[in-house]
Amino acid sequence: MSPRGAVSPRGAVSSRPAASDLAAAVDRGATVPDVAARGLDVLFCGINPGRWSGAVGHHFAHPGNRFWKAIHLAGFTDRQLDPAEERLLVDYGIGITNLVGRTTAAAADLDARELREGVAALERKVRRLRPRTVAFLGMGAFRIAFGRQRVAAGRQPEPLAGAAVWVLPNPSGLQATYGLDQLVDQLRELRDFVRGER
């Protein structure tokens, strides 16, 4: 996809946070600001910030996270962006938010109540921002949050506050069920859907 406006030069690569910074991000429940605007093509919804993202203040910031590479390979961006360049996503019609705002050492540290409460907050956000599509990155968290016993990757039958809903594999490098190629294929299907909806 091409950016909607001019894209500024490549931003600085996020530096490696110290172990004390990673621990502090969890201890204080650090949040990462949304990357959002009204009328986006896709609002990606992560589970919650991991330690690295909480420490540096950028989404999907851990070097092992495949999000930035995968959205580029799927054709959402014309080059692989660095997490520090996340604000440029809006120029491509893309945003990022999280189901739960607080940083944890692992998504498994969240309980079902937090995930369900996150759905209500997300629904309010979607009503306000009016994205065409909400794409959840994490099938297990989606199942828990929405009370579904099973869910397949791809478009879901029920919209969320008027937006089409997609569920995709978690791009974390720790998630080994879906390889990069499979993640990119799923993202290409989403990209093709979004292009067809314009």
Residue spans of the domains in the chain: they are 19-197
First to last CA, the chain: 12
Residue 103 CB partners (closer than 8 Å, separation 6+): 25, 26, 28, 29, 30, 31, 32, 48, 49, 50, 51, 53, 54, 55
pLDDT in tens, the chain (198 residues): 655 443 333 444 447 899 999 999 999 999 999 999 999 999 999 999 999 999 999 999 999 999 999 999 999 999 999 999 999 999 999 999 999 999 999 888 999 999 999 999 999 999 999 999 999 999 999 999 999 989 999 999 999 999 999 999 999 887 768 889 999 999 999 999 999 965
CATH for 19-197, options being 3.40.50.300, 3.40.630.30, 3.40.470.10, 3.40.1190.20: 3.40.470.10
Q: How many helices (H) and strands (E) does the chain have?
A: 6, 5
Question: Given this model, what pLDDT does residue 198 score?
Answer: 54
Per the listing, tokens 């099938």 go with: 139
**CA dist., res. 60 & res. 80, Å (int):** 13
Question: Given this model, what pLDDT does residue 1 score?
Answer: 61
